[in-house]
Each structure stands twice: as C-alpha cells, then as structure tokens.
Amino acid sequence: CAELGMSRDLVGKKVLVTAGPTIEPIDPVRYLSNRSSGKMGFEIAKAAARRGAEVSLVTGPVSLADPAGIETVRVETAREMLAAVEGCFDEADIAVFAAAVADMRPAAPAAKKLKKGSDADALARIELVENPDILATMARRKSKQVVVGFAAETDDVVENARKKLRAKGADYVVANFVGEGGAFDADDNEVVVVSAEGERSYPRSSKSAVADALLDHILGDR
C-alpha cells in the first residue's frame, strides 16, 4: 500500500549506481578525497528500487546507512570502486555514475605514518598519479546499458557537461552547480540534463524528486 500510486516502471530492470567520494591513502592516517555526501546517488538508488528495479549501489565512505533492500557495496579507493563496478556493469540496464571519484591518488602511499619532522619533504611533495576514469572505462564497454554521468561544475556548467558527454561516451550527463550555495551536502539540488537530444533544466527540488525526474527523463526517451 505504501507504493500505491507509485510508478513501478523499473520492474525486471537492473540499475547500478555509484555514490559518495573515494578516498586515496597518503599513509595509514591521511588521505586525499573529494567533497561528496553521497545523498544524490543514494536517492537515485532508492528511487530506482521504489520503482521496482534490482539495484546495486557502490559507494565510497559516507555517513548514510545502507538503504533497505538495496545491495550496497562499500569501497574506499577509485580502483576498488572500479573493480566493484566491473562486477555488475554487464548485467545492468541503467548505470548511473554519481560518485565524486578522486581524479588523482598518491603514487606510493607510505606503509607507516609520515612524521611532520622527519618526513617533512615527503609530506610537502606527495607525488600523484591519475586514477582510472570509471565512467569512461565502463562506457567503452557498454552494450545495452544506458550510461548516466554527473558533472559537478563551478562555472560554464552546461558547456562543461556537454564536453564530458562527448569525451566519456555517456548517454546523459547530469550537470549541477557546486559553487557557493550549490549542491554539496544539501538535501535539494538543481540540475540540467544534457544528452545528444538536447538539454533540459530541472528546477531546484529535493534530491529524491530530482532522482525520480531523472529516471522519468531516461525512461521517457526509450
């Protein structure tokens, strides 16, 4: 009864969602990371599950609890996230990459804690190497999947989202503004969805409502 009036248009479909940040160790006590609460990705996973999908949620460290009824895989680094995603991408019908993946990782994390005094040089110059691009890697492998990326931008939001759509081979890129007053840690969000068909703006609303609108948009095009 709780679902009375709700659309069950994803029954029989599998949906994969990445969420949250990744964290990349510098040493056993320090890491570099991105800002991300995980809320948007979790809301997409929950909306898809409400609509009947079988959902796999691969998330970096966030303070949110595993959503009921959703297979939730907890990872830390980008490489762990990629490995988890590779395990369920092929069978997914829709793959949504909402995670804020760290673009770089320390090249050689220290096994022991670096000390400010004796390891000052190492701490002042942490060599970084690029992480795999999970979305681009999976988009190259896509068959039936609808691939959805996100673009967190502080400026030229739509233009940058269009570039990412092309560069990564996604079917949709959901762009949001993340400067001051933007989406970080907020419960609501304002997005523009770009695709080969054009672009569509959604007014500011709860991340839960944005999640449903996004699924409506994707399913409406099919």
Q: Between residues 31 and 46, which has the closer beta carbon with respect to Ca ion? A: 31
| Residue 32 marked in a binding site | no
**Residue 177 engages ligand CTP in binding (rule: CB under 6 A):** no
Q: Between residues 9 and 130, which has the closer beta carbon with respect to Ca ion? A: 130
Buried b (16+ CB within 10 A) or exposed e, 58-78: bbbebebeebeebebbebbbb
Q: Between residues 92 and 152, which has the closer beta carbon with respect to ligand CTP? A: 152
Shortest distance, position 174 Cβ to ligand CTP, whole Å: 8
**Residue 94 engages ligand CTP in binding (rule: CB under 6 A):** no
**Residue 103 engages Ca ion in binding (rule: CB under 5 A):** yes
Closest CA to 78 of 41, 106, 39, 46: 106
Among ligand CTP, Ca ion, none, what does residue 46 contact (CB within 5–8 Å per kind)? none
Closest CA to 45 of 30, 31, 26, 62: 62
Q: Residue count at the site for ligand CTP (CB under 6 A)?
A: 15
Q: How far apart are the first and last CA of the chain?
A: 28
Return d(Cα 162, Cα 22) in angstroms, integer: 24
Binding mask 70-89 for ligand CTP (x = CB under 6 A): --------x-----------
> 220: which residues sit within 8 A by CB, 6+ positions away?
none
Amino acid in position 114:
L
Q: Between residues 114 and 195, which has the closer beta carbon with respect to ligand CTP? A: 195
**Residue 99 φ/ψ, nearest 5 degrees:** -70, 150
**Residue 134 engages ligand CTP in binding (rule: CB under 6 A):** yes
> What is the C-alpha radius of gyration for the chain, rounded to an integer number of angstroms?
18
Contact window for ligand CTP (CB under 6 A) among 3-11, 24-32, 46-54, 148-156: 148-156
> 164: which residues sit within 8 A by CB, 6+ positions away?
149, 151, 170, 173
**Residue 66 engages Ca ion in binding (rule: CB under 5 A):** no
Provide the 8-state DSSP code for 67: P
**Residue 99 engages ligand CTP in binding (rule: CB under 6 A):** yes
Shortest distance, position 103 Cβ to Ca ion, whole Å: 4
- What is the set of active-site residues? 34
Chain residues that interact with ligand CTP, rule: CB under 6 A: 18, 78, 97, 99, 101, 103, 131, 133-135, 149-152, 164
Contact residues for Ca ion, defined by CB under 5 A: 103
